[in-house]
Each structure stands twice: as C-alpha cells, then as structure tokens.
Structure 1
Amino acid sequence: MNTQSLPGADRIAIKTGTIVIANNEAINLLRDAGVPDHQLFPVQGGERIPLFTRKTWDEARADPSLFAPGLPNAPKRPFDKLAALSVNVWPSLHCFMPANHPEVIDTATVYTGAASPYTCTLDITIGMKYGLFQLGELMPPEKLTPGHRSFLEYISDRKRNVMSHSDGGQLMFNFVIGDKALLWSAHLGGYDGILKNLQPKPDVAIMAIAGRANLNGKPFDGSTAEFAAMKVGWLGNSSQVIWCLHDETCIPPWRIHIEAATKAVEENGKTKVLAVEFARSIDLNI
C-alpha cells in the first residue's frame, strides 16, 4: 500500500483483521488510527512475503503448532509451506503532474522538458501539503466545485479520516501464484532496472495510467501512452493489462482519456487491455 490508498484502510483493517503491507508512512498512520501492530507489515521494497488464506490462519490459531517459530513477542505466521501465494515488493515511483494541471489528461499528449533540473517526487509531497491540502485557502470560495468541497471536508477531519500529504515511497507488488504472477503498480513511474529484471514476469499487470510518467526519478519525455507501452515491454508483454488511477475524481484532472495508451500497449500483438466495471468480477489469466 502507498499513502494515496489510505482512505478507509484503517476501518477495513480493524473490522476484518486483515494484514496491511505498506510503506512506513502508511504503517505509522494506520498504527495511530488503532490498527493492531500484528496486522502491520512495514516494507520499502525488496521484501518477499508469504500470504495465507483466512482458513489457514484460523486453523493455525486453533492449533498453534502450525505457526512457524519466531521471537516471543513478534507477530506469528503459519509455516511457509502453508502459503497460498506470495508477494514480492519492489521500489517504484510516483507520477508527476503536468505543469498546467489540466482538467482532463489525454494519454496521447507528449510532454518534454522540466521546470527545473531538480524536478522530482519531493515536489509531489510539497505540492500536496501546501497546494492540494490547502485548496480551501488558495481558491476563491465561488470557484470551489462540489468535488473540491467534498475533498476539503474529508481532509479537515484527520482524526477520523486517515490521509497523508507525503508520497511515503511508492511500491510495486508482484503477487506470485504458482507459476503465474500479477503485478500491481499504483503509479505511472518506475526504475527501468527493476522493471526489466523483475521476476517472475507478470501474466497480468494492473497499472496506473494517470499523470506524466516518472522514469528513474525524472520526468519522462514523451506521452503517457509511449511510457505505458515501454513499461509493458520491460515487464515481458503481459497478456492482460488493467488500467487504474483513471477513474473520475472529485478534483481535477477530472478524468483520463486512456484510448491512446490502450492502443499503444496492444500494438505488441501479445497484450490485451481488459475493461473492468465497478462491482463486477472478472476472470484473469492466472
């Protein structure tokens, strides 16, 4: 998990008892929100973690001999051989926002250059803290849309609504299920060395498609569509790709036009982009 995925995560974790794997910023905020320590796994990239079904967890709690040995006060987990799947965590990068902050982003738009030779994700954290989170002070009241007001209302109660202005460190999660893999990359960015060498190559890739791409910490010169196609190629041309982070939002950019990215990715002849709908299950090739 990254910090942008925080809203509601504390309530889900407390209600269901699920384990949260996240960067340290998210972990600290969830702990402060009341999520028990044994449910919190802080990671920063490079970790390999076995995952277990609820049935296996319940059986281990009923029969502690199914728990692997560990330090007396450390969180317990079942023996590795009982894992249903695993997740490999990798460092990743947050996308950049186009300088003109458009109301709609088209994945065909080509971006070049940078405002500064030092443009980096630190600008994202500063922009969120002093820009996004202060829209109520920066924008005239008559310019605020219902979406703006809803967002400002949410972040005004930080005790009830867990949120962070800090990037916190982006992560990718490669879920390994038998001889198949599914990658979740929650932002349009990454390090080419990691993407090229990642193993196993994902059969399915869930990839963010919003913003201007961030390659190796610098703004990518080219379009979102071009970067997406290149990223899929580095990942071994996954048979299925699912876009994320392109839903209609309460603050601009309101939406993402994904058509160019879909076309660019599918031109390799091996990848198909799956269209998904809210609250509708789909079958994946894994």
Structure 2
Amino acid sequence: MDSTLEWFGATTFRLKAKGLTIFLDTWLERPSVLPKFLSVEEVAEADYIFISHAHFDHLPGADRLAIKTGAIVIANYEALRLLRAAGVPEKQLLPASGGERIPLFTKAKRDAATNGKGLIAPGPPGAPPSPDTSLADLAVHVWPSLHCLMPGKSHSDIPEIMDTGLVYTGAASAYACTVDINRGMEYGLLRLEEHVPAEEMDEGMRSFAEYIGDRQTNIFSSCDGGQLMFNVIIGDKAVLWNAHLGAYDGIMRGMEPKPDVIIMGIAGRANLNGRPFEGSAAQFAVEQVKWLGTPSRVIWCLHDQSCIKPFKVDTKPAEELVEKETGSQVLTMQYATSYQLFR
C-alpha cells in the first residue's frame, strides 16, 4: 500500500500508510489572514496525532480532532496537560519525552483489544487494553529535539524574510537558549496588544492578536514543553519529522533505523545541542542530512507565509546547499496535495 504525505502549512502534515492516518501537528485553523486548506470539521478520520510541542502554531486543533475521531495523541506532558483540560479522554493521551518506541495499530485492532478480542498485550491491572505488539501496523520512535532560536536580541531584530543562507555567529548572551523562546512567547508575542498600539497594528498583527486571544478554541502554551521529533517506521522504510531547526547531533548520528525521508523545520537560527549554531540554516540542514545517513529526500516545513515576522523563509540557499553537498534531493510540496512519500 502506498504511503502518502500532505502538507497544510507550517509544520502540519497528514501521513497515510498501511491503513493508518496520522496527523503531524494540527494547526489547520489559523489566524484569519492565513490561507486554510482543511478544517477540523472536514477531517473524517485520524488514528494518531503526533505533536512536536505545545506552542500556538503546532498544538491548536489537537483537542477537537482527537475528540472527533478518537485518535490517540502522542505528545509531551505540557501538551497533554492542555488536551486533558480540554476534554480529551485519558485513554487517548500517550505521554512521551523522547526515547520511546511505540507500536501503532488500526482502529479495528484497537477496538478489538478494547472488547477483549484478539491478542492483547500484557499490562498492569486497570490499564486500557492494547493489541499485542506482534499485530502492529507501523511503529514510531520518539526522540528529544530542540526548538530553533531567533536571531538578534529582540523580536525587532527578526527580518521580514529569513534568509537560510545567512551566517550567524556569536550569541545574544552567554546563556542564549530555548528559555529565551518561552519567555519571549509569554511576555512578548502573546502580549502583542499590550506592546503595540491598535493604530500601529497591521492586518496580520490584528489577526494574530485575535487568534491568540481565543484560548478556549485555540489551546496552546507559552512553554514548548520539550521539543520532540518522530521517526515513523513503515515496513523497511522510515520518515523522520523534526518540526524545528534544532537537534542533538548525538541522537541523530546514532538513530536507527536511518530515515529514507526527513521533514525538517528550516526557520530561525539553528539550535545545536542547546547552543546557537555557528553558521547558516542551510549549513545546519546539511549537517542534519549527513548525521542521518543522507536520506533520499528532504522536505522543508515552517517556511511558508506567516502573519508576523518573519513573514516567509527563503529556502533556496538551503535547497542548493543540501543538493550540492549531499546526495539528498529536496521535495518542494504544495499545499493540500498528496505526494508519494517513498520513491
């Protein structure tokens, strides 16, 4: 059976393989100025939802999708805390912090186990029944990852268009790390209306402020909760989804199986082992590709239109450098279009 991938903007994808439908992030319904290609109401089925982290452009929609479809959500503890509070049943929440290997099953097999039919995996008393691992259709290996860092010392230093070929050196402070991202989110971006007078806001800012103001519909946290990446094992193939431009090189070097395809965040300043990377986003992308054994395909994410700076990411330098320095080919995906994942 074919494995297909669709992209709906930012880091949100729908993966279909071996009878399973998996959402990678769930930011389908976005601020009003951004294009929308699929609403939560239009989603007919989902077996699993993987969440990279709990920020505003990754987690919203996961609660409604999970409740609507019965999908199991695999995410960090911060994301699951919010989903639990939003009414997602506990049996659909599977916490991960990295290092987990998780078998994935069709709904028919999960329902059979719930009803006491078929092979059931051993487990503690009172735990929700699960099919025996020998019945797994796919698997996912969850790994710790890192959120990207932002260039400069403040949001005012962020360019309107981010150049993946621009080399960054040095750091804004001796302790530059993802603490700055979460503090900037809590006290800066999520308080935009406090910092920018209404008459100075453009249409994008207004739509963003309206979006983040509706915390009942759009659940998210100022804290990422710990970035995760997911290596989905599909038979003898694998696809790795790393939604931000950050990584621990030791984890990527040692990852088995190596992915045949990598979906990679390409925005921001790269974050290597918790420190600002000395170089460009393009150079960091090349490093990731090499650490992972040169996957046949590279797919960008988090590079398209935004309602706040950076409004877009210029991926051309990254594409050219990856294809020049490695044997990987970059696949440029169009919105809401189904692509064969493996060649």
Give the CA deviation at 1:73: 2.1
The answer for the alignment partner of 1:26 in structure 2 is: 79
Q: Does residue 80 in structure 1 map to residue 145 in structure 2? A: no
1:218–1:269 CA distance, 2 compared to 1 (3 A) = closer
The answer for the alignment partner of 1:3 in structure 2 is: 54
Deviates more, 1:250-259 or 1:269-278: 269-278
Give the CA deviation at 1:62: 4.7
Cα separation, 2, equivalents of 1:75 and 1:62: 11
Q: Deviations over 1:244-284 (max 9, x none)?
A: 11120111110000000011111145211111111110001
Structure 1 runs not aligned, ≥5 long: none
* Residue identity matched to 2:310: P
Give the CA deviation at 1:177: 1.5
Q: Normalising by the residue count of structure 1, what TM-score does the alignment of the two structures yield?
A: 0.96
Among 162, 178, 184, the alignment partner of 2:219 is 162
The answer for the alignment partner of 2:287 in structure 1 is: 230
Give the CA deviation at 1:15: 0.2
Moved over 3 A (4+): 58-63
Q: Deviations over 1:150-196 (max 9, x none)?
A: 22112212123201110210011111112211100011001111111
* Residue identity matched to 1:77: S
Q: 1:31-180 to 2 correspondence within 5 Å?
A: 31-99=84-152, 100-180=157-237
The answer for the alignment partner of 1:254 in structure 2 is: 311
SS at match of 2:285: helix
Cα separation, 1, equivalents of 2:326 and 2:249: 22
1:49–1:193 CA distance, 2 compared to 1 (3 A) = same
- Which structure's residues are more often helix, by fraction? 1
Deviates more, 1:209-218 or 1:64-73: 64-73
Cα separation, 2, equivalents of 1:190 and 1:214: 6
* Residue identity matched to 2:104: L
Cα separation, 1, equivalents of 2:207 and 2:86: 22
Cα separation, 2, equivalents of 1:67 and 1:148: 51
Q: 1:165-204 to 2 correspondence within 5 Å?
A: 165-204=222-261
Structure 2 runs not aligned, ≥5 long: 1-50
Deviates more, 1:136-145 or 1:182-191: 136-145
Contact kept? 2:146, 2:228, Cα under 8 Å? yes
Deviates more, 1:145-154 or 1:119-128: 145-154
SS at match of 1:152: helix
SS at match of 1:267: helix
Give the CA deviation at 1:141: 1.5
Cα separation, 2, equivalents of 1:75 and 1:149: 44
Q: How many residues align?
A: 286
Give the CA deviation at 1:64: 2.8
* Residue identity matched to 1:253: P
Contact kept? 2:114, 2:128, Cα under 8 Å? no
Q: Normalising by the residue count of structure 2, what TM-score does the alignment of the two structures yield?
A: 0.81
The answer for the alignment partner of 1:216 in structure 2 is: 273
Cα separation, 1, equivalents of 2:339 and 2:118: 37
Cα separation, 1, equivalents of 2:75 and 2:110: 20
SS at match of 1:158: coil
Cα separation, 1, equivalents of 2:202 and 2:243: 27
Give the CA deviation at 1:105: 0.2
* Residue identity matched to 1:259: K
Cα separation, 1, equivalents of 2:288 and 2:200: 38
